[in-house]
Amino acid sequence: MSWIKTETGKNISVLVFSALISLLFLELFLRFYNPFGFRIKGDKILLYPHKKYVIENSSLKGTDKKIIHSKNSLGLRGEEPPKDFSSRLSVIAVGGSTTEGFYLSDGKTWPEILQNKLKKDFPNIWINNAGIDGQSSYGHIIFTREYLSKLKPKIAIFYCGLNDIGLSAMNSYDSFSKESKIKKAAKFLSKNIEIVSCAFNLYLYFSYKKTGITHGNIDFANIEKIKVSDQEKKEILNSEKQNAKNYSLRLKELIRETRKNGIEPVFIAQTSLCKKAFDLNTKINLGEIAVKNKFLNCEIFGEILNIYNREMEKTAKEEKVFFIDADKIMPSNSSYYYDLFHFNNSGAEVFADKIKTPFIKFLKNKYNN
């Protein structure tokens, strides 16, 4: 230890000490004030009751200039839970960004619109929006265990598929590391140390961004097109078929978790502009549009999504879960989206309108209304 007494040794020791003090200071700061508002800590999902986001928006077409996005006392979007909750026809819509509608103002997301549309037939209906940006079916399982099992709504609508694409393992942590010890350590540190939690969330965010399905405006005047060879297409589709089998296992787990808690699940297959079709608005061939950081085109991405949707349909049939194929009933019209996946104000309205009829049929059968 004689090196510590040298000039360099002293400098290094002071530097290490300074680094530790600085990290401690940063940790304390993040514990008291964390502006990110990340949704995950360790293996827990965080909700933010009464949180209000005000976003000045000038880029996302078909959305409000000033977006006001609020959470209620449950940390969800929509009306406050009623006092007579147990006697109400309570529904929670669970999903990812296409359900949450982060850039849609209060009252303009599809679950909130659906509630208003159903009030005529079901005056005692109450629907809340529990969409969480980026959440896959694995996150839905955690959400069901942590929140839905306590809230116990009568119905849980799961609108998913998109965030499960490419998810070969059970969850993000599994794909982050195959070593279970590292996985466990990452979860533990992320749960207990704010700096690690922030770093991990940022890592997940940037990994997710690579998939190219984060929010953004699409400029149809300067669209980038891509052609993929038949061989590449075949390889991509084959690898996704195995991932889709794992998706089916997660859906089955979701069904078990909801039914165990007296909640009836309803599945809605994901829709998007990614398909082999011409846009009804711009007449552009949607199939040629580049997605996933220009690695894929919309036609193949649409085929991949269809593999997941068919798995959902098959699982729903096997487990006798009510299923709505939104991809078949939503028109391929870019005026309903601000990018390839996310609804704008009119898209959410049309989507709610399209799923209303089959959902009413289900409610009438189930509750004999």
Partner 1 sequence: MEFLKDIWNLIKERKKWWLIPAVIVLFLIGALIFLSSGSAVAPFIYTVF
Nearest to 96 by CA among 69, 130, 71: 130
18 makes contact with partner 1 (CB under 8 A): yes
Q: CA dihedral defined by 307, 155, 98, 142, rounded to 10 degrees?
A: -80
Alpha-carbon separation of residue 251 from 121, 157, 308 (angstroms): 30, 12, 11
Q: Which 54-73 positions form the footprint of partner 1 (CB under 8 A)?
A: 54-56
Alpha-carbon separation of residue 101 from 70, 296, 343 (angstroms): 11, 25, 7
22 makes contact with partner 1 (CB under 8 A): yes
Q: Are 219 and 51 in contact (CB under 8 A)?
A: no
- One-letter amino acid of 200: F
Stretch that binds partner 1, among 13-21, 81-89, 347-355, 360-368 (CB under 8 A): 13-21
Stretch that binds partner 1, among 12-20, 116-124, 274-282, 313-321 (CB under 8 A): 12-20
**204 versus 277: smaller Cβ distance to partner 1:** 204
19 makes contact with partner 1 (CB under 8 A): yes
Nearest to 52 by CA among 72, 32, 34, 33: 72
3 makes contact with partner 1 (CB under 8 A): no
Q: Shortest Cβ distance from residue 186 to partner 1 (Å)?
A: 14
Rounded Cα distance, 350 and 255, in Å: 28
**147 versus 205: smaller Cβ distance to partner 1:** 205
Q: Are 210 and 293 in contact (CB under 8 A)?
A: yes
Q: Alpha-carbon Rg of the chain, whole angstroms?
A: 23
39 makes contact with partner 1 (CB under 8 A): yes
Stretch that binds partner 1, among 23-31, 183-191, 250-258, 360-368 (CB under 8 A): 23-31
Count, residues near partner 1 per rule CB under 8 A? 45
CA geometry: angle 85, 91, 95, nearest 5 deg: 135
Q: Are 176 and 166 in contact (CB under 8 A)?
A: no
In terms of C-beta density within 10 A (0-12 exposed, 13-18 middle, 19 or more buried), how is residue 96 classed?
buried
142 makes contact with partner 1 (CB under 8 A): yes
Rounded Cα distance, 204 and 44, in Å: 15
Which pair of structure tokens corresponds to residue 185? 């350590």
**38 versus 362: smaller Cβ distance to partner 1:** 38
130 makes contact with partner 1 (CB under 8 A): no
Stretch that binds partner 1, among 18-26, 109-117, 182-190, 304-312 (CB under 8 A): 18-26
Query: From residue 224 to residue 263, what is the string marking binding to partner 1 with x (rule CB under 8 A)?
Result: ----------------------------------------
Q: Are 294 and 225 in contact (CB under 8 A)?
A: no
215 makes contact with partner 1 (CB under 8 A): yes
Q: Shortest Cβ distance from residue 246 to partner 1 (Å)?
A: 15
Q: 3, 6, 9, 15: which one contacts partner 1 (CB under 8 A)?
A: 15
Rounded Cα distance, 215 and 64, in Å: 15
**96 versus 287: smaller Cβ distance to partner 1:** 96
202 makes contact with partner 1 (CB under 8 A): yes
Contact footprint for partner 1 (CB under 8 A)? 11, 14-15, 17-19, 21-23, 25-26, 29, 33, 35-40, 45, 53-56, 97, 102, 132-136, 138-139, 142, 163, 171-172, 201-202, 204-205, 207-208, 214-215
